[in-house]
Chain A
Amino acid sequence: MGVKSWLNRSPMRRIDELEERLRVLEQDNVELRRHNLRLAELTDVVQELLVPLASRDQEAIDAAIEKFTKSL
């Protein structure tokens, strides 16, 4: 939307629209912040669990899984 057409709207409507945009932006921000914990958890799983699971030694795999779940 152009600035001119936006300014032509009634002040109440502009405030309503801004409030709605603010609400959406805040929600987006919350969602973005959540990626930090999720990404850290995934990275941790890859480092601590996936690499040991690539082993073909069942005992080593079981030990790695047990060590990982106990460390949480």
Chain B
Amino acid sequence: MVRSQDAVLVDEDGVLLRVTEDKVVDVLVDDRRVWSFWTVRDTVCHASAEAGEEQRLAPWPRPLRRFLDGRARITVRETVSERVLFDAEVGFGSSTSPIAIVGRHGEPLSLDKDGRLSATFDVRDPSQTGPLLDAIEEVIEVLGQLGVEAFPAYGTLLGAVREGNLLGHDSDADLGYVSRETTPVDVIRESFRLQRGIGERGYRTHRYSGAAFKVEVAEGDGVVRGLDVFGGFFDDGRLYLMGEVGQEFRQEWIFPLGTCTLADRTLPAPAVPEKLLEAMYGAGWRVPDPAFKFEKDPHTQAQLNGWFRGTQVDLRRWDRLYSSRRRKLPRGRASELAMLAHRELPAEVHVLDVGTGRGRDAWFLARKGRTVTGYDYLPHAATAVIEEAAAKGLPLDVRRLNLLELRSVLGEGARAAHQTGPRAILASHMLDATYAVGRQGFMRFARMALRGGGRLYAEFWTSKTTDVRQLWPIPVAEVADLITANGGSILHATDTVRTLSSGVDVGVGRVVAQWA
């Protein structure tokens, strides 16, 4: 362990500090900031603290740990005063090579304000951030053509007003607009319209909630950056801005818009940006805080959640689960359910594999010569299967279906219903991977897709074990009731016990149903 004069210690566990007050500090690896934290809020009391002295440990964040094998110069300094608390060469693990915290393309990475390892702006040069600034200008202009006056918001507004530039510890850019609409339903409809308008201009977009979406922008070296567009509105003297804001606010603090400077660009800004920054970050917004965490007001969050959110539940969890494996073909046998469906269904039946995940069953059925469409919350989880099927010319495609989003269910349901030929649905561990709202969405989709005759094969856990993570068991009777309430007839329903490879017994439900 290396010890400095300020009694700060840095080793494989983390940064150990002598703490007198809560301050934000930066950790630099070879002169480059990779992490910032608050000395009380983000630390734990250290077990070997000496008497009369509070020593606290900031453990290395999980995303950084995998890089810590080798040697590097570590600097710990206070963010605001820039006072250096520790500065020395430190060795980690068994390697003696220099530590390099870089991404797949060799781009330097650091932890952004959300704790994600990203190519933050402090390691980007102007040739790399230029396309993002271009996109900010272009998206603001397009939004203007579509009828809303957008401006940099949250971290991007803070950077512009406080530093005249993108914040070094930020990794995305935010835009906001205050709608002339006054009810959430109209604000949502407007946000749908804006997303379409942006998409029609060639940008890839992704919706977060009823009032926020992301525009993807490729930077100079191919790093894809998110440009988040947050909707807001006034209601009875209160400003609501998606994300975090809900408080009394004067219209004249927003309109007419003024200007701000971001790098070398002049951009629109709220009339009194300081007021909006105070609403977003509190009265201390002028003091830099690379480890800032929003103190969420529970009432505002309940309002914004109720009005706008609920269509992306657990999406990040599923994304994390699949992110490292999506380029690998799934191994192992197809599910027994897929094999049963294949035995029972005539060869010409098009199988819709809902909740296809990495596409193991879809891949099995396509290789048997069937036409298969996989559906998933995260279609890119099946990237390897999609690419392999395309290379081999197999009739397999994978589409996005969000069972929590009515538009997605109705759109994909209408598409399936309009296709010619017989269809069947396979749902292997889909009903136990979603929630009541998702199951209702699934039944709506099944009812539409199987209208005119089609079979559903569903399998799900009926009892919980520690071996079956990510899934929530559901009784067979509940599934059967849902099916009959949605116009299906149960052909076959069982609840049996299966012994997993770990030796643990688990209840498995299977239902085969027919729509007429």
Contact = CB atoms under 8 A, between A and B. Distances in A.
Interface of A: 29-30, 32-45, 49, 53, 58, 61-62, 65-66, 68-72
Q: Which of B210, B308, B410 has the most CB of A within 10 A?
A: B410
B189 interface: yes
B495 interface: no
Contacts of B186: 40
A71 B188 contact: no
Contacts of A33: 184, 303, 305-307
A34 B302 CA distance: 11
B408 A40 contact: no
B405 A72 contact: yes
A37 B418 contact: no
B411 interface: yes
B477 interface: no
Given A30-B306, A49-B410, A72-B407, A40 B415 contact: no
B207 A37 contact: no
A25 to B, nearest CB: 13
B115 interface: no
A42 B411 CA distance: 11
- Secondary structure at the B interface, as helix, strand, loop or mixed, is helix
B231 to A, nearest CB: 12
Q: Which of A37, A39, A62, A69 has the most CB of B within 10 A?
A: A37
Contacts of B411: 45, 49, 65, 68-69, 72
B259 interface: no
Contacts of A40: 184-186, 188-189, 192, 210
Contact of B306 (A29, A45, A66, A72): A29
A43 B410 CA distance: 12
Interface in B386-407: 399-400, 402, 405-407
Nearest to A47: B189
Interface in B290-336: 302-303, 305-308, 310-311
Contact of B414 (A29, A36, A53): A53
Nearest 5 A/B pairs, CB to CB: A33-B306, A40-B188, A36-B184, A41-B406, A69-B411
A69 B399 contact: yes
5 contacts: A36-B307, A37-B185, A41-B407, A69-B399, A70-B199
Nearest to A68: B411
A36 to B, nearest CB: 4
A21 to B, nearest CB: 18
Q: Which of A32, A43, A72 has the most CB of B within 10 A?
A: A72
B401 to A, nearest CB: 9
Q: Which of B185, B195, B399, B418 has the most CB of A within 10 A?
A: B185
Contact of A37 (B303, B308, B412): B308
B406 A45 contact: yes
B183 interface: yes
Contacts of B399: 69
Interface in B162-212: 183-186, 188-189, 192, 195-196, 199, 207, 210
A32 B185 CA distance: 12
B74 to A, nearest CB: 46
B320 to A, nearest CB: 23
A42 B305 CA distance: 19
A36 B196 CA distance: 19
A72 B207 contact: yes
B302 A45 contact: no
A72 to B, nearest CB: 6
Given A37-B310, A42-B406, A44-B407, A69 B412 contact: yes
Interface in B402-436: 402, 405-408, 410-412, 414-415, 418
Given A33-B306, A43-B185, A61-B418, 12 more contacts: A29-B306, A34-B310, A36-B184, A36-B188, A36-B210, A40-B185, A41-B405, A44-B189, A45-B406, A66-B415, A69-B400, A72-B405
Contacts of A37: 184-185, 188, 210, 307-308, 310-311
A69 B306 contact: no
